[in-house]
């Protein structure tokens, strides 16, 4: 039974699978161990209610790396990405705002609220796209290490800085501003209308326990425009069959290279000889051995859960204690008997085929955050909705629909403590539905089934510590060479032969596949496997 593997990957989320696929493609013998009965982790599709496929957690694809799609031939293995056509911000009064994939139509929409904003909007898009180019090499390479004096590290930094070469000083200033400002402050420099700014500002706080006026939230806006840089690839949108199909496509690619995948197999701890890993112990006591072990779990879970503090340096443990998780989001998935109708724009028009943001004003978002600060879920939260069944009929029976609602804020740390979540789950679900009902009257009567996912559920069911959707906040002090811990940003760990490849490593969370891919590249390059 003692088969020998080059690598055992802990966790069958999309990053673990991507890492496995790349290692196996390079000829290594790889085993993936997943605790749940389905693959995908937070990028998963499940029929929780018969006939309706939910993207239980992650629901839109934005930054899945084009090179991974190509290298692993994901289209051949079933990846299909469908366009999300527009962004709709419903309002209590007036028609709300829809941003279309057509400049003139969008201009007219915005002009209903502000003629100035209408004109500046395309300019903003161009500027952001230009700045997003600086980001691309950063997400597509291992993190630079500015503290290192090794020539290799400097060469690497210079390579990453290449897009800055031709930049004029003003752009550099803008870029620096973005890195430090709050998303609202940054947007205030451009726009005046709330209904435009609010839905844009929220992209800066997704997955963080911060408000839209917290400093350092502006740069996340750039992530959104990264999608435009990769635009020709058209990899932005919905995954056919739900987000889980991305994970399944990666899994099929991995299997085609010989990766062995086991589900319902939970790893209890990493096997170590001194400070060197040589395998894992499964729940139930079975041991599996390998030359290297790679964990795709959230870092605190990896180190405190599977390795143990005793085996780790103090400094490292201190840093990890400080690593900010503090999840603040929830998810509500609805099966609907028929298509909802929005009060501000009746009818089943195209405006529902994109993403729909319940973020009518900055004040609304601030209020939502205020409650969260004091350990309550927002009674009137920010909600990001998609109705994938409109674009992908395969996820619901004919005429029926799936409505996916990402909700913020739902702080893990409730005033009563996180254990109070199970008793508040339904109240939280009600708050979300009540909020929606105000914008889309009659929604309640269409609901056939409701799945409510609190940060507590994300931790218990999905292994997302403190319910953080990205395995750690994507705030500046936890990114690049600081992710997850300064000095350990290159997928290595203080334990020899134990590596990391999940969203808790550079370049972070989201269904990008980049951590898995870069971890495999690094391991192969350094001949660690």
Ligand X SMILES: Cc1cc2nc3c(=O)[nH]c(=O)nc-3n(C[C@H](O)[C@H](O)[C@H](O)COP(=O)(O)OP(=O)(O)OC[C@H]3O[C@@H](n4cnc5c(N)ncnc54)[C@H](O)[C@@H]3O)c2cc1C
- Contacting positions for other proteins (CB under 8 A): 66, 69-70, 74-76, 80-83, 85, 100-102, 105, 129, 133, 166, 228-235, 240, 348, 350, 353, 390-394, 398-399
34 touches ligand X by CB under 6 A: yes
Residue 90 and residue 96 in contact, taking contact as beta carbons nearer than 8 Å? yes
Residue 29 DSSP label: -
Min. distance of Cβ 123 from ligand X in angstroms?
27
**Residue 296: which of ligand X, other proteins, none does it interact with, CB under 5 to 8 A by kind?**
ligand X
Distances (CA, A) of 358 to 91, 364, 382: 8, 9, 5
Parallel, antiparallel or unpaired: strands 52-55 and 45-49: antiparallel
Give the integer Cα–Cα distance in Å for 352 and 60: 15
455 touches ligand X by CB under 6 A: no
Q: Select 6 or 34, whichever has its Cβ closest to ligand X.
A: 34
In the three-class reduction of DSSP (H, G, I as helix; E, B as strand; rest coil), residue 335 is classed as strand
Sign of CA dihedral 42, 327, 10, 496: positive
Give the integer Cα–Cα distance in Å for 510 and 330: 15
Min. distance of Cβ 93 from ligand X in angstroms?
29
Min. distance of Cβ 292 from other proteins in angstroms?
29
Min. distance of Cβ 134 from ligand X in angstroms?
20
Min. distance of Cβ 334 from other proteins in angstroms?
18
Q: Select 178 or 235, whichever has its Cβ closest to other proteins.
A: 235
Min. distance of Cβ 398 from other proteins in angstroms?
4
Distances (CA, A) of 412 to 58, 274, 330: 18, 36, 9
Parallel, antiparallel or unpaired: strands 276-282 and 87-89: unpaired
Residue 200 region by backbone torsions, left for phi larger than 0, else alpha for psi between -120 and 50, else beta: alpha
**Residue 2: which of ligand X, other proteins, none does it interact with, CB under 5 to 8 A by kind?**
none
**Residue 333: which of ligand X, other proteins, none does it interact with, CB under 5 to 8 A by kind?**
none
In the three-class reduction of DSSP (H, G, I as helix; E, B as strand; rest coil), residue 97 is classed as strand
**Residue 85: which of ligand X, other proteins, none does it interact with, CB under 5 to 8 A by kind?**
other proteins
Give the integer Cα–Cα distance in Å for 513 and 42: 12
Length of the chain: 529
Distances (CA, A) of 513 to 136, 286, 317, 522: 14, 30, 27, 14
19 touches ligand X by CB under 6 A: no
Min. distance of Cβ 34 from ligand X in angstroms?
5
Q: Select 240 or 300, whichever has its Cβ closest to other proteins.
A: 240
45 touches ligand X by CB under 6 A: no
Three-state DSSP string of 427-453: HHHHHHHHHHHHHCCCHHHHEEEEEEE
Kindly identify the residues of this chain, within the stretch 311-340, that bind ligand X according to CB under 6 A. Answer: 329, 331
Question: Which residues of 254-327 form beta strands (DSSP E)?
Answer: 260-262, 267-273, 276-282, 287-295
Give the integer Cα–Cα distance in Å for 55 and 148: 41
**Residue 230: which of ligand X, other proteins, none does it interact with, CB under 5 to 8 A by kind?**
other proteins
507 touches ligand X by CB under 6 A: no
Residue 491 and residue 295 in contact, taking contact as beta carbons nearer than 8 Å? no
244 touches ligand X by CB under 6 A: no
**Residue 70: which of ligand X, other proteins, none does it interact with, CB under 5 to 8 A by kind?**
other proteins
Token pair, residue 20, equals: 């496995």
Min. distance of Cβ 36 from ligand X in angstroms?
5
Element containing residue 515 per DSSP (H, E): helix 514-525
Element containing residue 251 per DSSP (H, E): helix 244-256
Tell which one of 7, 9, 13, 428 touches ligand X (CB under 6 A).
13
Min. distance of Cβ 345 from other proteins in angstroms?
16
Min. distance of Cβ 102 from other proteins in angstroms?
4
15 touches ligand X by CB under 6 A: yes
Min. distance of Cβ 131 from other proteins in angstroms?
13
Nearest Cα residue to 499 out of 8, 4, 3: 8
Q: Select 410 or 440, whichever has its Cβ closest to ligand X.
A: 410
96 touches ligand X by CB under 6 A: no
Kindly identify the residues of this chain, within the stretch 52-71, that bind ligand X according to CB under 6 A. Answer: 57-60, 62
**Residue 166: which of ligand X, other proteins, none does it interact with, CB under 5 to 8 A by kind?**
other proteins
Nearest Cα residue to 308 out of 283, 271, 333: 271
Count of chain residues binding ligand X (CB under 6 A): 38
Residue 179's contacts (CB-CB under 8 Å, 6 or more residues apart) are 216, 218, 219, 476
503 touches ligand X by CB under 6 A: yes
Q: Select 60 or 518, whichever has its Cβ closest to ligand X.
A: 60
Tell which one of 482, 511, 519, 523 touches ligand X (CB under 6 A).
511
Q: Select 233 or 447, whichever has its Cβ closest to other proteins.
A: 233
**Residue 59: which of other proteins, ligand X, none does it interact with, CB under 5 to 8 A by kind?**
ligand X
470 touches ligand X by CB under 6 A: yes
**Residue 497: which of ligand X, other proteins, none does it interact with, CB under 5 to 8 A by kind?**
none
Question: Which residues of 274-386 form beta strands (DSSP E)?
Answer: 276-282, 287-295, 329-336, 355-358, 382-386
Q: Could you list the residues that contact ligand X (CB under 6 A)?
A: 10-16, 33-36, 41-43, 57-60, 62, 266-267, 296-297, 329, 331, 406, 458, 462-464, 469-471, 502-503, 509-511
């Amino acid at each position: 039974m003692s088969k020998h593997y080059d690598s055992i990957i802990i966790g069958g989320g999309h990053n673990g699978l991507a890492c496995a696929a790349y290692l196996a493609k390079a000829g290594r013998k790889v085993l993936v161990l997943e605790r749940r009965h389905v693959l995908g982790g937070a990028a998963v599709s499940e029929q929780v209610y018969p006939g309706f496929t939910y993207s239980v957690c992650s629901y839109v694809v934005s930054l899945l790396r084009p090179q991974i799609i190509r290298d692993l031939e994901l289209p051949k293995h079933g990846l299909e990405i469908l366009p999300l056509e527009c962004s709709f911000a419903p309002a209590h009064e007036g028609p709300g705002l829809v941003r279309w994939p057509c400049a003139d139509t969008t201009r007219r929409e915005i002009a209903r609220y502000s003629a100035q904003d209408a004109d500046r909007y395309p300019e903003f898009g161009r500027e952001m796209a230009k700045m997003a180019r600086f980001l691309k090499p950063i997400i597509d390479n291992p993190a630079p290490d500015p503290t290192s004096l090794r020539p290799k590290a400097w060469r690497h930094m210079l390579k990453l800085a290449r897009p800055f070469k031709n930049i004029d000083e003003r752009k550099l200033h803008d870029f620096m501003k973005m890195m430090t400002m709050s998303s609202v402050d940054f947007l205030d420099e451009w726009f005046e209308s709330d209904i435009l700014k609010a839905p844009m500002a929220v992209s800066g706080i997704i997955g963080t326990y911060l408000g839209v006026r917290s400093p350092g939230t502006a740069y996340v806006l750039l992530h959104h425009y990264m999608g435009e840089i990769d635009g020709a690839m058209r990899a932005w949108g919905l995954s056919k069959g739900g987000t889980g199909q991305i994970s399944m496509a990666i899994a099929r690619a991995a299997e085609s290279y010989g990766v062995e995948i086991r589900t319902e197999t939970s790893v209890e701890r990493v096997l170590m000889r001194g400070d060197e890993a040589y395998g894992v112990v499964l729940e139930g006591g079975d041991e599996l051995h390998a030359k290297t072990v790679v964990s795709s779990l959230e870092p605190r879970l990896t180190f405190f859960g599977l390795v143990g503090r005793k085996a780790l340096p103090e400094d490292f443990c201190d840093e990890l204690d400080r690593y900010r998780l503090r999840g603040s989001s929830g998810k509500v998935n609805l099966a609907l008997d028929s298509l909802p109708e929005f009060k501000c724009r009746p009818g089943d028009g195209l405006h529902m085929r994109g993403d729909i943001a319940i973020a009518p004003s900055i004040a609304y978002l601030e209020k939502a955050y205020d409650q969260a600060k004091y350990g309550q879920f927002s009674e009137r939260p920010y909600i990001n909705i998609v109705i994938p069944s409109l674009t992908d009929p395969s996820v619901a029976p004919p005429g029926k629909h799936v409505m996916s609602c990402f909700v913020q804020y739902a702080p893990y740390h409730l005033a009563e403590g996180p254990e109070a979540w199970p008793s508040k789950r339904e109240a939280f679900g009600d708050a979300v539905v009540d909020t929606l009902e105000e914008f889309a009257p009659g929604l309640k009567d269409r609901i056939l089934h409701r799945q409510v996912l609190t940060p507590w559920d994300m931790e218990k069911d999905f292994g997302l510590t403190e319910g953080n959707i990205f395995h750690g906040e994507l705030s500046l002090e936890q990114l690049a060479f600081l992710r997850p811990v300064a000095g350990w940003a290159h997928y290595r760990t203080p334990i020899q032969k134990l590596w990391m490849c999940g969203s808790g490593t550079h370049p972070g969370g989201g269904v990008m596949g980049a951590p898995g891919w870069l971890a495999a590249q690094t391991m192969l390059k350094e001949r660690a496997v």
